Structure 1
Amino acid sequence: MATLNEQARRATPGTRLSNDSVIIRLQSARNALDPAERKVADFLLSNTAQVINLPIAAVAERSGVSAGTVVRTCSDLGYSGYRELRMLLARDDAIVRLRQRQAPPTSIQETDGEGMQIIARVRATVASLQSITDSLDAQALDRALELIRHARHILILASGLSIGIGNTLQSRLAREKILATFIVDPMAQDISAASLGKDDLVIAISGSGENAHTISTTRTAHSAGVNTLAITIFSNSTLAHEADVTVAACVSGMDFSSELIETSRLPLDIMVEAVMEQLRGGDDSELITMISQHLEH
C-alpha cells in the first residue's frame, strides 16, 4: 500500500491532502531542520502507515535518534508533541482512505437492498470481533479484577463515544455493590481524581487510548499513587503506557486511521460485560426482585 507521502506526490484533485496536513508540513520544513531532526522527518515520510501505530520510543530507535530529538522535531514543526503529530497523521490517512473509497466491502453488493447491506455489515462486524481474544492478556485481566475487588472507591474516566461505556460500567458495578463514580465534566473529573488515595482506583476508558483529558487525569492520579486501569482498543496507545494495568481489546486490522473512519466501541462493551460477569456475586435474587419492581411500572 502506498504511504501517505507517495499519495501526496501523485494525488489527484479528489484525494489531495490539505495544506495543514502533516505530510505537506514535513515536506516543506524538512530542509530547515537540523541533521538529527531530518532523520526523524525522513523516517516519518517513508513510514507514515507504520508511524500511526508506533510509540515515540519506537520512532526514536528506528530513526537512530533520542526520544528528545523526536519531541524537538515535532515542536519545530509546530506541534505540541509527538502525540499530536501522530493523531493528525492518522487524520490525514483517514481522509485519504475515505476519498479513495470507490466500492462497498466485497461482502456487500451495490444491487442489494439496504436491509441486506445491513445484514452483511453485521456479519462483517461479528467476524472482526472474533479476533479480540487473540490480543487479551490473562495476567492483565487477573490484575484488573484484583484492583476492582479491593478498591475502596472507583473513579471512572471516559469522554466522547466512550461515555456510554462509562455509564454501563458504573451501573454494573453498582449492581455488585461496588462504589463507583462516573463524572462526565472534565473539571469535575480532575477534582475527584485529586481527592483519591492509594486504596482507590481510576478506570480510564478510551477507544483510541489518545483522549487528551482522559490521559491527563490518569497521569495525575498515577503520579499521586492511585491505582490506574486502562480499558482501550490499542495496546500501544499513550493511555496504555500511562496506566498500571491495561486491558486491550485489540481488533485485527484496526489502526488509528480506521478508528477515525469506523469508530466503534463494541470491543470495549464486550470487555466490560465479560469482566463484570466474572465479578458477579452468587445470589442475585434480591437484585432481580428490585429490577423486576421497576419493570412493573
Structure 2
Amino acid sequence: MSVLDQLQESLSDFSRNERHVADYILSNPQEMRSLSGEALAAICGVSRSTVLRLCQKLGYQGYAEFKYALQHETEHPAQTRPADALPTQNVLTYYCSGMLQMEPLVTSDALRDFADTLSHANRVVALGLNHSSVSAEQLAFRLNKFGVDCHMLWDDSRMASYERVLKQGDVVVIFSISGRDFYETLVSEYRKNRVKVVLITMDPDSSLCHLVDISIVLPFLTYNAGGMYPMDETVIFFMFIEMLAEKLHQTLHRLDE
C-alpha cells in the first residue's frame, strides 16, 4: 500500500486536527517536498505535535521519516516500500530520526533570534534541574569558547537568588524536557528586570512557552520511540547546542565584518 493510500484509509482514525493535515497532504503531495513539519503545521493551523501524532499513527517515528517515504514514493513509484516493511528499528535509527526532525530549525527564525540574542548579551545564565543540568553545563562550556560569558545553575535556591542579580541585557536559558511549571515564577521575576528568557524544551504544550521571549521545541525521543526504553534526551540537547554554535559563529562573524 502506498503512503497516500495508507493516509486515505486512515482518515477515520484521525482527530479533527490530524484530518486537516491529512487532507492537505492528500491534496498537495508534491508540495510536501519543500515543507518542514513546522511549516505544514502552520499551513493547517495546528500544532507541530499534531503533525507528529499523525505520522506516528501511520507507523513512522516522526515527520522526517514520513516525508522521506512520501518523497521516495513520488520519485520512485516502482520501488515504494510501505511503512510496515521498514527495517527493524534500533537506537541509532531513533536518534538519527530525532536529529532529522530538527533540520527545520537550521533556517528557523527562533534559532536565528536566539543566536542574535546571545551575541548581544551582557552575560548568559543557563539553568537546568537534575539531568537537564548536563545540557546547561554544556551550553555554558560552548558559549565561553566563543567568548560569550556564560555560567550554569543547577540548584533551585540559587536560581531564585538570581532574581536580584540579573538585569536588562542579561539572558537566561532554561533546559527543561517537560517545560515544568516550577520555572514559571522564576521567569516572571526575571522578566520584571527585563531579562530575556529562552526555553529549550520537548513539550510543545508547556504553558512556559507562552511566558518566555523565545521557545524552541525539540523532538522527545522517549515518546517517539513508543516505549522502546527510556532514551537519553541529552543527545538531542547536545546536537541542538552544536546547531546553535554554528549559527552563533555565523552571527559573530557577520558582526565582525
TM-score for both structures, normalised by structure 1: 0.49
- In the TM superposition, what are the counterparts of 1:1-297 in structure 2 within 5 Å? 107=88, 120-134=90-104, 138-210=108-180, 212-251=181-220, 254=223, 261-262=230-231, 264-280=233-249
Quote how far apart the aligned CAs of 1:238 are: 2.3
SS at 1:208 equivalent:
coil
- Do the aligned partners of residues 174 and 253 (structure 1) sit closer, same or farther apart at CA in structure 2, a change above 3 Å counting? closer
Superposed CA RMSD in Å reads 3.1
SS at 1:160 equivalent:
coil
1:257-288 C-alpha deviation (Å, 9 max, x unpaired): 96x95452322211111101222366xxxxxx
- The one-letter amino acid paired with 1:279 is L
- C-alpha distance in 1 between matches for 2:141 and 2:247: 15
Quote how far apart the aligned CAs of 1:190 are: 1.2
- The one-letter amino acid paired with 2:96 is V
Q: Indicate the structure (1 or 2) with the bigger Cα radius of gyration.
A: 1
- C-alpha distance in 2 between matches for 1:253 and 1:183: 25
- C-alpha distance in 2 between matches for 1:200 and 1:251: 29
- C-alpha distance in 1 between matches for 2:245 and 2:107: 17
| % identical equivalent positions | 16
SS at 1:130 equivalent:
helix
SS at 2:182 equivalent:
helix
- The one-letter amino acid paired with 2:139 is L
Quote how far apart the aligned CAs of 1:135 are: 6.5
Q: Is the 8 A contact 1:136 1:249 kept in 2?
A: no
- C-alpha distance in 1 between matches for 2:132 and 2:102: 18
Count of equivalent residues: 166
Quote how far apart the aligned CAs of 1:176 are: 1.1
- C-alpha distance in 1 between matches for 2:178 and 2:105: 16
In structure 2, the gaps of 5 or more residues are 1-14, 16-86
Quote how far apart the aligned CAs of 1:253 are: 9.3
- Do the aligned partners of residues 152 and 251 (structure 1) sit closer, same or farther apart at CA in structure 2, a change above 3 Å counting? same
- The one-letter amino acid paired with 2:110 is A
- Do the aligned partners of residues 192 and 265 (structure 1) sit closer, same or farther apart at CA in structure 2, a change above 3 Å counting? same
- The one-letter amino acid paired with 2:120 is H
- C-alpha distance in 2 between matches for 1:204 and 1:186: 12
Quote how far apart the aligned CAs of 1:244 are: 0.6
- The one-letter amino acid paired with 1:184 is W
- C-alpha distance in 2 between matches for 1:181 and 1:162: 14
- C-alpha distance in 2 between matches for 1:228 and 1:128: 25
Q: Is the 8 A contact 2:222 2:233 kept in 1?
A: no
- C-alpha distance in 2 between matches for 1:247 and 1:124: 20
- Do the aligned partners of residues 278 and 135 (structure 1) sit closer, same or farther apart at CA in structure 2, a change above 3 Å counting? closer
- Do the aligned partners of residues 161 and 194 (structure 1) sit closer, same or farther apart at CA in structure 2, a change above 3 Å counting? same
Q: Is the 8 A contact 2:116 2:248 kept in 1?
A: no
